[in-house]
């Protein structure tokens, strides 16, 4: 791997006090942390319960400072046609809130109760609908895009080209949880295959052996796979 990212000072009221509850639990998680620190773009694919979101958030939060000024959280909202949130009540943040709970819960676990809302107010965390990312050039930020198994080839390529100066992109997804009507429209398997031996983009795949949540999860997944689900 290349030279590791130099850690920068956090704002005084957060320095050494932001990431309170995180240690990588497996070799695969440690590898994932190193990828995020070393690479501008990382793709993590794999089973539920392997800690993809938790590890990505903790590592991203630890990098906030002079170079990476904020953490941008994005999630593919496939339950709504063409990422259109217009019919939900409220402003952009209120419309996205139901889809961002996994981010909120994980940030509060990592940083302490109420941390997510506090970081939003300090503008160290920003929430963006997927559709909005397509029109931006993002500088000085770590961007986490979840549920990327639901992205089309075109959408993935468009988002990838939005990365600006001093930014990192972390794509998270599970190829077995594609919500699109046509499963073959998912891009995740393709892009992992394209970049798995590349020096440009870091890739990591989490399997049943990497599950750190509840040991029943891989057993359930295996039983469902044997029945073609």
Q: What is the pLDDT of residues 145-199, one digit of tens each?
A: 998 888 888 888 888 888 899 999 999 998 777 655 555 667 888 999 999 888 9
56-105 pLDDT, tens digit each: 999 999 999 889 999 999 976 654 444 455 555 556 666 667 678 889 99
Compute the CA torsion angle 132, 137, 141, 143 (nearest 10 deg). Answer: 40
Closest CA to 33 of 10, 52, 12, 17: 52
Q: Which residues pair with 142 in a beta bridge?
A: 71, 168
pTM above 0.75, yes or no: yes
Residues 207, 46 contacting (CB under 8 angstroms): yes
CATH number of the domain at 27-226, out of 3.50.50.100, 3.40.50.20, 3.40.50.300, 3.60.15.10?
Answer: 3.40.50.300
């Amino acid at each position: 791997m290349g030279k590791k990212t130099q850690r920068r000072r956090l704002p005084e009221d957060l320095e050494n006090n932001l990431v309170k509850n995180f240690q990588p639990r497996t070799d695969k998680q440690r590898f994932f942390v190193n990828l995020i620190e070393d690479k501008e773009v990382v793709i993590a694919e794999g089973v539920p319960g392997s800690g993809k979101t938790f590890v990505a958030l903790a590592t991203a939060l630890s990098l906030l400072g002079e170079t990476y000024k904020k953490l941008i959280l994005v999630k593919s909202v496939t339950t709504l046609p063409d990422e259109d949130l217009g019919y939900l009540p409220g402003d952009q943040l209120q419309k996205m809130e139901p889809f961002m709970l996994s981010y909120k819960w994980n940030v509060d676990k990592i940083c302490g109760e109420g941390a997510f809302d506090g970081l939003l107010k300090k503008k160290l965390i920003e929430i963006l609908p997927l559709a909005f990312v397509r029109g931006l050039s993002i500088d000085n930020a770590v961007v986490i895009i979840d549920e990327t198994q639901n992205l089309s080839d075109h959408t993935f390529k468009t988002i990838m080209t939005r990365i600006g100066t001093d930014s990192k992109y972390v794509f998270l997804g599970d190829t077995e949880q594609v919500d699109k009507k046509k499963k073959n429209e998912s891009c995740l398997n393709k892009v992992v295959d394209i970049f798995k031996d590349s020096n440009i983009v870091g890739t990591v795949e989490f399997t049943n052996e990497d599950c750190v949540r509840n040991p029943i999860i891989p057993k359930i997944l295996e039983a469902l796979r044997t029945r073609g689900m």
